[in-house]
Amino acid sequence: MLENQIDTIVALSSGSLPSGLAVIRVSGPQSRNILKTHVSDNLKPRSAKLLRIKGRNSEIIDEGLVLWFPGPASFTGEDCVEFQVHGGRAVVSALLGSLCEHDQVRLAEAGEFSRRAFENGKLDLTAVDGLSDLIASETEAQRRLALSQSQGALRELYEGWRERLIFIRAMLEAEFDFSDEEDVPEEIASEGLQRVTTLIEEIECHLSDNRAGEIIRDGFRIALMGRPNAGKSSLLNSLARREVAIVTDQAGTTRDVLEVHLDIDGHKVIVSDTAGLRETEDMVEMEGIRRAQDAAAKSDLIVWLHEGPNEEPEFLETNTQILAVQSKLDLKNGEGFGVSVKTGEGIDELIQKISEEVFNRIDVAGSGLITRQRYRNGLVRVLEYLRNVASASGSQLELRAEDARLAGVELGRLTGKVDVEDLLDVIFSEFCVGK
């Protein structure tokens, strides 16, 4: 928990200065007093008004838009004020300094506005994660996925499952707690177990998503691999449209893994140039090859560059899908698909093939996508408990009910309903100050 939770917090919530506009947010019990002190007008809730903004000494700091959000109908659930002023450093510094002169008013910590929104029930943890992803989104696909999550797509799914588990647990407990009562139907637990089976199938389907959500959020990873001088660095430069990697005729130039981030049809694609694979006694080159193998293991697709026709991948230790591409088509006539970075031949076709691979991986139907390993790990634990419920013998109703309870607890951890205190500092530290 953050200390001094009753403090009113203030922060610059817009971009770096100087700028055309700066947004300063205020949240907490002193917000109404700040409003009365710094502007001389009573504001209607959630209505912007152009006003002169004063310091505590009544000197005019700036003229800008002011908005008043009485709690709980605000982002944080507390009383909030927003000042939209000119984005000069002196203006922002003067206003922040004047606001912090009030008692129990201080500058906000990173993510503190969002944390208060969570603690006041305005957001659950999946929505918080979605909001963080929305701020960091680089591509259209990331924006759409993050917006859906921030608006509650995963919360509705996981909370729906948790509510069904509560009902299943009640059915299981009813049989062993009230089995002698006449108004309790016999074998009431059997219906609960049928519902468990259905729930298991739904969660298994949710998990069998080919990591679509994580690929959209973190990027589709491609490793350029091949023997030395196969043209990997030249292709990386061509895809990036800038000189990223050093290109020479000397074999073994690339020793480390170089990455570029691309936007291909609205999706984030991370392309890595790696060391050429061959037998070598050079210790530095051996380390480069080890790093190349590690990049291959972590990639979603390997683009294997080769100069000769139908050359098979060599020295490659991975099960990752491979796309074979013949390089340097301007120097030779090859068989199969190939590219030339000098003439541009095949580059557009390669990008199209990559786009098709990305869409094949993320073409998943369903309500919400898993975007973090934390969600995946939690759902795997939920499945373990539910399978225990489904497999236990009829004489172990108490154990089944306990496993159903533990499954519900795990689902509650995903949305922040129960036992997540150890996660909060990590989650909210990822936010910028002012959000």
Classify strands 60-69 and 80-87 as parallel, antiparallel or unpaired: antiparallel
> Is pLDDT of 105 > 50?
yes
> Is pLDDT of 194 > 90?
no
d(C-alpha 73, C-alpha 232), whole Å: 55
> Is pLDDT of 29 > 90?
yes
Name the 3-class secondary structure at 192: helix
| Sign of the Cα pseudo-torsion (114, 116, 117, 121, in order) | positive
> Is pLDDT of 4 > 50?
no
pLDDT of residue 126: 95
pLDDT-derived band at 188, boundaries 50, 70, 90: low
Q: Give the tokens for residue 408.
A: 């519900």
Specify whether domain 216-362 bears CATH 3.30.2270.10. Answer: no
pLDDT tens, residue by residue, 62-72: 999 999 999 99
Q: Give the tokens for residue 64.
A: 């800008």
> Is pLDDT of 357 > 80?
yes
Q: Find the mean pLDDT for residues 251-278.
A: 87
d(C-alpha 343, C-alpha 223), whole Å: 23
Q: Domain 8-124 belongs to what topology? A: Gyrase A; domain 2 (3.30.1360)
Q: Find the mean pLDDT for residues 14-33.
A: 94
d(C-alpha 167, C-alpha 195), whole Å: 10
d(C-alpha 355, C-alpha 141), whole Å: 13
pLDDT of residue 334: 61
pLDDT of residue 42: 81
For residue 228, give every residue at least 6 positions away whose Cβ sits within 8 Å of its Cβ, in sequence order, or none: 251, 252, 275, 276, 277, 278
How high does pLDDT run on average in the chain? 87
pLDDT-derived band at 311, boundaries 50, 70, 90: confident
Identical fold at 8-124 and 128-209+369-416? no
Q: Would you kindly state where each structural domain of the chain is located, as residue ranges?
A: 8-124, 128-209+369-416, 216-362
pLDDT-derived band at 398, boundaries 50, 70, 90: confident
> Is pLDDT of 86 > 80?
yes
As separate numbers, helices (DSSP H) first and strands (DSSP E) second, the chain gives: 14, 11
pLDDT-derived band at 15, boundaries 50, 70, 90: confident
d(C-alpha 324, C-alpha 312), whole Å: 8
d(C-alpha 238, C-alpha 278), whole Å: 24
The residue that leads in pLDDT, 433 or 243, is 243
pLDDT of residue 186: 52
pLDDT of residue 1: 38
pLDDT of residue 418: 77
> Is pLDDT of 328 > 70?
yes
Task: Say which CATH superfamily domain 128-209+369-416 falls into.
Answer: tRNA modification GTPase MnmE domain 2 (1.20.120.430)
Q: Is 78 left (phi over 0), alpha (psi -120 to 50) or beta?
A: beta
pLDDT of residue 68: 96
Report the range of poorest mean pLDDT among 14-23, 309-318, 348-357.
309-318
> Is pLDDT of 254 > 70?
no
Q: Say which residue the tokens 């080890």 belong to.
A: 290
pLDDT-derived band at 181, boundaries 50, 70, 90: low
Q: Find the mean pLDDT for residues 84-108.
A: 96
pTM of the entire predicted model = 0.83
Residues in the chain: 435
